[in-house]
């Protein structure tokens, strides 16, 4: 039975208590519904699985499909498979990917898994982190099956979201899918994951300090929907999390519980908005997604999602600070208009750089581009509202140095060399990332103000994500 709350009651709830709740939001006038029925964080959650399974499959005999990455197959033998056998729960193994190859959340892999899934299966359990979570959502939705997510690492923030980032023809997009029936984040299990995965999760969480500014910017300049409640939901837990970074590194279970709660909450901030991931994903994620595109298109190394997001957050926080320091009186509108690239020129650039994939970039640009006849008035409005814009953006922003310090304290990667990307790779992400994803962010504004491409190298220099020169 769903529970209904006021805003103050809602914000005071512990993350597991927010599962299956509804808020009729006075801030934005919309209904915020968290459709995940059960959410748990803490220790020894595996022992609760039988009870949770039977509560989901009322009057049905469980026949489980266990979705996982082949890389953790041995680990699952002791954790899951033996216990299901002891409980007389029939199950089938659904391993995805190949040994030695990082798994991708591709539509092709997901569709093959749907085809291969035995008809007897009536409940899926996804055991893993980001990619497995996305693929389980996809497989369950396409197969019309309930599912449980058992997180094995604190590496990303979308366990409780109801969308998945899927790759098709080298292009990533967020797709609205069915919600999990239950999400379990076991702190003991997550503490045993490699530290680099935990650092990635922290990087993904810190993204809120850029993406909510992007979200507000989109409201101010493009009139899109915005609600402050998702940002407010994360305020107290972020402060608590940052104070426990050292303890998390040392695998302290109480600190890991704090991290698990933060991950639950971050996913909720997206779930309450359906297919809108703006509270947890903005320009910093666009940078990360473009790094992924470079992996697919140029065969550059693949990295953990949250690791890339952490670096993207440092870069984009720096970008906001640079723009914040500019004087709008210095913007010469005639010059900006005269240097604005035509759509046909953009199309030609995309074709030369990205081949057949350039058409997808064209489509995104076409949807976001202000018509030439309206562009001058659009620029005038930005300059007129400059001070007010920053008054509204500032509360959502965190200094890049604070973000960098948190990641470095956790032992995370803060340099491009750590993700096998060069200065030119990052410049390409800054310049073309906004052409790759449909959401409006500060990256689009840099182009509109005539600051790109010249400003991109300066942003990188100021962000300190490149190796220091010797």
In a domain, 206, yes or no: no
107 and 45 co-located in one domain: yes
Question: What is the per-residue pLDDT for 111?
Answer: 95
In a domain, 81, yes or no: yes
C-alpha to C-alpha distance for 382 and 397, rounded to whole angstroms: 19
Question: What is the per-residue pLDDT for 450?
Answer: 97
3-state secondary structure of 64: strand
Examine the fold and report which residue of 214, 238, 271 is the final residue of a domain before the chain moves on. 271
Q: Which two tokens stand for residue 225?
A: 């929907």
C-alpha to C-alpha distance for 106 and 104, rounded to whole angstroms: 5
In a domain, 216, yes or no: no
Please write down the long-range contacts of 256-259, taking CB distance under 8 Å and 24 or more positions apart.
256/154, 256/187, 256/188, 256/190, 256/191, 257/41, 257/42, 257/43, 257/187, 259/154, 259/187, 259/190, 259/198, 259/201, 259/202
Examine the fold and report which residue of 238, 271, 304 is the final residue of a domain before the chain moves on. 271
pTM over 0.85: yes
Question: What is the per-residue pLDDT for 75?
Answer: 78
In DSSP notation, 239-252 reads HHHHHTHHHHHTT-
Number of domains into which the chain is organized: 2
Q: Residue 246 sits in a domain of what CATH number?
A: 3.40.50.1970
| Residue 15: closest CA among 215, 246, 236, 306 | 236
235 and 318 co-located in one domain: no
Number of residues written out for the chain: 470
Question: What is the per-residue pLDDT for 101?
Answer: 72
Question: What is the per-residue pLDDT for 295?
Answer: 92
Question: What is the per-residue pLDDT for 470?
Answer: 34
In a domain, 399, yes or no: yes
C-alpha to C-alpha distance for 81 and 92, rounded to whole angstroms: 9
367 and 253 co-located in one domain: no
Examine the fold and report which residue of 246, 271, 296 is the final residue of a domain before the chain moves on. 271
Place of tokens 């009729």: 24
365 and 446 co-located in one domain: yes
In a domain, 381, yes or no: yes
242 and 306 co-located in one domain: no
Q: What is the mean pLDDT of each run of 10 residues along the chain (470 residues)?
A: 76 92 93 94 89 93 94 78 80 87 87 96 95 96 97 92 87 88 93 93 96 98 96 90 92 92 94 90 96 92 94 98 96 96 96 92 96 98 97 98 96 97 98 94 98 98 79
82 and 172 co-located in one domain: yes
Q: Which two tokens stand for residue 22?
A: 């509804």
Dump pLDDT digits (tens) for 410-427. 999 999 999 999 999 999
181 and 251 co-located in one domain: yes
Sign of CA dihedral 290, 293, 298, 299: positive
Question: What is the per-residue pLDDT for 249?
Answer: 87
In a domain, 39, yes or no: yes
In DSSP notation, 9-54 reads HHHHS-GGGGTTEEEE-TTTS-EEE---SEEEEES-GGGGHHHHHH
Question: What is the per-residue pLDDT for 1?
Answer: 56
Dump pLDDT digits (tens) for 52-108. 999 999 989 999 999 999 888 777 877 778 777 777 889 999 999 887 677 889 999
385 and 451 co-located in one domain: yes
- Cis, bond preceding 453 (omega within 30 deg of 0): yes
In a domain, 259, yes or no: yes
Strand partners, 172: 167
Read off φ and ψ for residue 206, nearest 5 degrees.
-65, -15
In a domain, 202, yes or no: no
358 and 244 co-located in one domain: no
Q: Which two tokens stand for residue 329?
A: 């009186």
Question: What is the per-residue pLDDT for 379?
Answer: 98
Give residue 345's domain range: 283-463
99 and 236 co-located in one domain: yes
185 and 65 co-located in one domain: yes
98 and 168 co-located in one domain: yes
């Amino acid at each position: 039975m769903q529970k209904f709350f006021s805003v103050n009651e809602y914000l005071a709830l512990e993350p597991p208590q927010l599962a299956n709740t509804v808020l009729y939001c006075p801030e934005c006038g919309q209904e915020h519904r968290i459709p995940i029925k059960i959410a748990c964080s803490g220790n020894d959650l595996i022992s609760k699985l039988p009870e949770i399974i039977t509560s989901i499959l009322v009057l049905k005999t469980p026949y489980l499909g266990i979705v996982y990455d082949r890389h953790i197959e041995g680990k699952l033998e002791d954790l899951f498979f033996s216990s299901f056998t002891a409980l007389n729960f029939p199950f089938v193994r659904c391993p995805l990917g190949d040994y030695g190859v990082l798994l991708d959340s591709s539509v092709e892999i997901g569709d093959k898994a749907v085809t291969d899934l035995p008809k007897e299966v009536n409940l899926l359990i996804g055991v893993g982190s980001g990619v497995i979570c996305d693929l389980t959502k996809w497989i369950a939705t396409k197969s019309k099956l309930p599912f449980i997510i058992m997180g094995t690492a604190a590496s990303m923030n979308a366990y409780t979201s109801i969308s998945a980032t899927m790759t098709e023809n080298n292009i990533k997009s967020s797709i609205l899918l069915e919600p999990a029936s239950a999400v379990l984040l076991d702190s003991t299990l997550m503490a045993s994951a490699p530290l680099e995965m935990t650092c990635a999760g922290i990087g993904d969480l810190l993204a809120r300090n850029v993406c909510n500014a992007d979200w507000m910017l989109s409201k101010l300049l493009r009139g899109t929907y915005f609600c402050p409640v998702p940002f407010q939901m994360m305020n107290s837990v972020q402060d608590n999390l940052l104070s426990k970074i050292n303890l998390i590194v040392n695998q302290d279970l109480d600190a890991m519980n704090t991290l698990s709660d933060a991950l639950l909450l971050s996913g909720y901030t997206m779930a309450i908005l359906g297919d809108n991931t703006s509270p947890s994903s903005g320009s910093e994620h666009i940078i990360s997604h473009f790094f992924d595109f470079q992996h697919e298109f140029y065969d550059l190394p693949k990295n953990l999602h949250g690791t890339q997001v952490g670096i993207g957050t440092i870069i984009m926080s720096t970008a906001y600070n640079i723009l914040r320091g500019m004087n709008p009186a210095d913007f010469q509108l005639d010059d900006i208009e005269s240097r604005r690239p035509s759509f046909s020129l953009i199309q030609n650039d995309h074709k030369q750089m990205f081949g057949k994939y350039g058409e997808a970039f064209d489509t995104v640009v076409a949807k976001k581009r202000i018509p030439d006849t309206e562009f001058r008035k659009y620029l005038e409005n930005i300059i007129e509202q400059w001070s007010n814009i920053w008054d509204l953006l500032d509360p959502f922003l965190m200094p890049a140095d604070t973000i960098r310090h948190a990641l470095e304290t956790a032992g995370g990667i803060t340099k491009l060399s750590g993700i096998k990307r060069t200065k030119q790779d990052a410049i390409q992400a800054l310049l073309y990332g906004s052409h790759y994803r449909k959401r409006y962010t500060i990256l689009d504004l840099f182009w509109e103000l005539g600051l790109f491409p010249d400003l991109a190298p300066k942003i990188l220099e100021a962000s300190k994500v490149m190796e220091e020169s010797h």
